[in-house]
Each structure stands twice: as C-alpha cells, then as structure tokens.
C-alpha cells in the first residue's frame, strides 16, 4: 500500500489545516489538548461549525448530505482534527445510527432524522447493553409489544454513554419472546423526552458522569420508528457494531496523545536525564508507536470497505482490540511519566480501563476474528 499522499490530497490537507486554524474555537482547542472534559455545548458548537462548512458528515455520501469524501480524505480530516485539538465528533449519530438509517431505514426516516444529525440538533445515544446482556447482547430482555400503531416498551438499559444529553436513543428490543435469542429482536428509535423514560447517572471511579442507566416504563413508540423489518434488528445491530468498533480505534487521537507523551517524557527527569532517554521507558514508547503505525494501515482498509458500502468485517474487531490496547498503554505511560495518581492523567487512566470492554469486549472480538477468518 502506497501511503504517500497525492498532490490533490496534500492540497486537501492544507485546506483542512487552514480551516481548523481559522474556525476551531480556542477555548475548545485548549480543553482537548490539555485533556480536559469537553461539554455538550462544545461538541454541538463544533458540529454546527462543520455543518456550515459543508463538512458535517465526513464519512457520509453526498446523497445524504455528507461530504462524499473518499477514505483517504476521511482519514486526513480525522487525523488533522485530532492533531489540532478538535473535539471528537459524536459517533452515535454520525457513525452508528446514521449509517443504519441510510442502509435499512425508509425514505421518511432518512428525511426526518439524518439532516438533524448533521446540524447537531439531535443528540443520540445507544440503547444496547442491559444488566444481564452486555457482551452477550442476544440475551437482552427489554420488551416491545405492538399495540396498533405503536409499541409499548418496558425494560432497562445500562452503561449508556452520555444519555443525560440525548434527544433520541436507538434501541434494541425484543418483539418476539418466543423466537431464538438472535431472532425476535427489533431496532427502534426512541424519543428520550417521551413519558416513561428515566435516565439515572452512574458515577465512575474517576468521578465523572459519562454513563447512565435508562428505565423504560410503558414508553409508547410509534411503529413508524421501527427501522427495517420487525425481528430483523440483530442484522442491523451487527452492521452498526462494525462501524462502532472501527470508530473506537481512534488512530488520530492516539497519534496526538503519543506526541503529548513524548513532550511529557522529554520534560520529566530520571537520574538527571530526560525520562524519554531511559531505555525501559523509551522501549515501551517505541512499541506503542510501532503498534500505532500498523493500526493506521488496518484503519485505511476499513475506511475503504465503508466507501464501497460494505459493512466492516473482522478487521473492525482487530481495530477495536489494538486501538483500545494502544489507548490504555498511552494512559499508563502518561501516568508513569508524571509519577502521580492524581489529576487529569489519573482520571484518563481510570477512564481508559473501560475501552477494552465496551463495543464488545476484546475477548469477544478475538472470538469473532477466529470465527470469521479461521472458521472456528
């Protein structure tokens, strides 16, 4: 694979850099580069800035209001945004439910929901995991009973990221309790402001409020909010999870954090010399850099598959495994470099512990890879 950019691609990179220099708000840039929490308002403001530029859907086709960029331009855009300190685009709408609605939704759903994702007017969350159904998602119990022109939904979802901000939730529900576990599941779009929806915070070890539990008690969901066919939700869920796992890899962000680690390592001293010159520490940093280079190539392959409207295959699981391992290694090395289990670096370290679990645990991903590639 030739990783050298063409003159046109280099010109595009310069265009992105100029735009970021001019349009990325300094206060948001500062938060991202310093590892501080980015607020809901920051995320929405950045999405709206991108939308005004015509870049609100970097991975979407022009047919649905996106940029129509090829995989290389998508890669350049995400890498430059990460390096400049732009907040990560909210994936739940842009990279998860959006592609599902494009692929399986009807025209009315596409016209209703997709534009509001691009403008940042609707914030989405993912209603998959339940107290007894995490990695074993097929055992979910949230029930949706059809009552004429609506479904009556009852159940509980947990570990729902940023649900406290959400306007909508794409939700897996069981519509046929008599069917086999992977069958009888449907994909519903639930209004988070509807009567019977309760969001309760889960405060994590770092003191943050990022995840939540959601209670659904006799929530009325119009049948028009069913995506695709009833009891075919498992197919749509697998399609979405491929996009989620590819997104979790976060290559551009890890490259930025690697650079940050090098800066910290050059400032911190050990035995009178920069920590980065310590053989043991330097070897670990070099290994992370090698892993990240390999991950980049796999990421480009997944982007190529998406551009051809193919769902990511087992390589998405590889991205998820290696991407999260790299993120955790970087957070560990930063903590080691600072020598203190307090402050932002400690919070980041604790927060990164969960990356190898959500989106399907890394152990589950290894099973997927063995089944898909080795036929086991």
> Which tens digit of pLDDT belongs to each residue from 230-287?
999 999 988 887 666 666 778 889 999 999 999 999 998 888 899 999 999 999 999 9
> Is the domain of 191 the same as that of 293?
no
Asked, for residue 242, whether it belongs to a domain, the answer is no
**Which residue range is the domain that position 332 belongs to?**
249-374
Known active-site residue 244: yes
Asked, for residue 51, whether it belongs to a domain, the answer is yes
- Pick from 45, 68, 89: which residue ends a domain? 89
Give the global pTM.
Answer: 0.85
- Cα gap 160→212, rounded to integer Å: 5
Q: Which of 71-80, 221-230, 336-345 holds the top average pLDDT?
A: 221-230
Confidence of residue 1 (pLDDT cuts 50, 70, 90): very low
Average pLDDT over residues 307-316: 64
Is 60 exceeded by the pLDDT of residue 170? yes
> Is the domain of 222 the same as that of 263?
no
Q: What is the pLDDT of residue 172?
A: 96
130-144, 203-217, 231-245, 252-266: segment of lowest average pLDDT:
231-245
Q: Under a CB-based contact definition with an 8 Å cutoff, are residues 124 and 167 in contact?
A: yes
Query: What does pLDDT average to over the chain?
Result: 90
Asked, for residue 237, whether it belongs to a domain, the answer is no
Contacts of 124 (CB under 8 A, 6+ apart): 90, 92, 93, 96, 97, 117, 166, 167, 168, 169, 170
Asked, for residue 102, whether it belongs to a domain, the answer is no
> Is the domain of 83 the same as that of 135?
no
Q: Under a CB-based contact definition with an 8 Å cutoff, are residues 143 and 174 in contact?
A: yes
Is 70 exceeded by the pLDDT of residue 13? yes
Report DSSP letters for 226-292, one per residue.
B-SSTT-HHHHHHHHHHHHHHHHT-HHHHHHHHHHHHHHHHHSEETTEEGGGSHHHHHHHHHHHHHH
51-65, 69-83, 148-162: segment of lowest average pLDDT:
69-83
Q: What is the pLDDT of residue 305?
A: 64
Q: Which of 41-50, 181-190, 320-329 holds the top average pLDDT?
A: 41-50
Six-digit token string for 229: 């066919």
> Is the domain of 264 the same as that of 366?
yes
> Is the domain of 53 the same as that of 23?
yes
Percent of the chain scoring above 90 in pLDDT: 66
Percent of the chain scoring above 70 in pLDDT: 93
> Is the domain of 178 the same as that of 221?
yes
Phi, psi (deg, nearest 5) at residue 340: -145, 130
Q: What is the pLDDT of residue 53?
A: 98
Asked, for residue 1, whether it belongs to a domain, the answer is no
> Is the domain of 197 the same as that of 140?
yes
Q: What is the largest CA-CA distance in the chain?
A: 75
More confident call, 368 vs 119: 119
Asked, for residue 144, whether it belongs to a domain, the answer is yes
59-73, 139-153, 353-367: segment of lowest average pLDDT:
353-367
> Is the domain of 202 the same as that of 158?
yes
Average pLDDT over residues 335-343: 80
More confident call, 315 vs 272: 272
Q: What is the pLDDT of residue 255?
A: 92
Three-class secondary structure of residue 147 per DSSP = strand
> Is the domain of 300 the same as that of 328?
yes
Catalytic residue among 79, 130, 213, 244: 244
Confidence of residue 83 (pLDDT cuts 50, 70, 90): very high
Confidence of residue 343 (pLDDT cuts 50, 70, 90): confident
> Is the domain of 260 the same as that of 362?
yes
Quote the number of domains for the chain: 3
Average pLDDT over residues 154-175: 97
Q: What is the pLDDT of residue 174?
A: 97
Asked, for residue 96, whether it belongs to a domain, the answer is no
Average pLDDT over residues 196-221: 94
Is 80 exceeded by the pLDDT of residue 306? no
Asked, for residue 265, whether it belongs to a domain, the answer is yes
Confidence of residue 3 (pLDDT cuts 50, 70, 90): low
CATH number at residue 273: 1.20.140.10
Is 60 exceeded by the pLDDT of residue 199? yes
């Amino acid at each position: 694979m030739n990783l050298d950019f063409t003159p046109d691609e280099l010109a595009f990179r310069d265009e992105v850099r100029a735009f970021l220099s001019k349009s990325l708000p300094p206060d948001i840039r500062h938060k991202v580069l310093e590892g501080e929490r980015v607020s809901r308002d920051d995320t929405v403001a950045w999405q709206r800035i991108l939308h005004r530029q015509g870049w609100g859907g970097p991975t979407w086709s022009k047919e649905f209001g996106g940029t129509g960029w090829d995989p290389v331009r998508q890669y350049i855009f995400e890498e430059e945004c990460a390096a400049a300190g732009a907040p990560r685009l909210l994936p739940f709408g842009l990279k998860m439910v959006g592609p599902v609605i494009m692929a399986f939704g009807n025209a009315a759903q596409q016209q209703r929901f997709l534009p509001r994702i691009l403008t940042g007017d609707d914030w989405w969350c993912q209603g998959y995991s339940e107290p007894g159904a995490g990695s074993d998602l097929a055992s979910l119990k949230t029930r949706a009973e059809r009552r004429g022109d609506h479904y009556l939904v009852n159940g509980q979802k947990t570990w729902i990221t940023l649900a406290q901000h959400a306007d909508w939730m794409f939700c897996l529900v069981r519509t046929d309790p008599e069917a086999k576990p992977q069958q009888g599941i449907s994909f519903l779009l639930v209004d988070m402001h509807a009567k019977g929806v309760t969001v309760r915070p889960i405060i994590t070890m770092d003191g943050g409020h990022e995840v939540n539990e959601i209670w659904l008690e006799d929530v009325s969901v119009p049948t028009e909010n069913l995506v695709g066919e009833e009891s075919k939700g498992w197919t749509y869920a697998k399609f979405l999870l491929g996009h989620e796992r590819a997104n979790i890899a976060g290559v551009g962000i890890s490259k930025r954090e690697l650079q940050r680690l090098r800066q910290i390592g050059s400032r911190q001293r050990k035995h009178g010399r920069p920590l980065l010159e310590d053989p043991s520490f330097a070897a670990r940093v070099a290994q992370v850099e090698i892993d990240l280079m390999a991950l980049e190539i796999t990421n480009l392959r997944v982007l190529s598959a998406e551009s051809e409207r193919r769902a990511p295959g087992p390589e998405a699981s590889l991205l998820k495994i290696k991407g999260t391992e790299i993120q955790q290694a970087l957070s560990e090395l930063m903590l080691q470099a600072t020598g203190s289990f307090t402050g932002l670096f400690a919070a980041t370290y604790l927060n990164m512990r969960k990356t190898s679990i959500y989106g399907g645990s890394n152990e589950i991903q290894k099973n997927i890879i063995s089944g898909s590639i080795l036929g086991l």
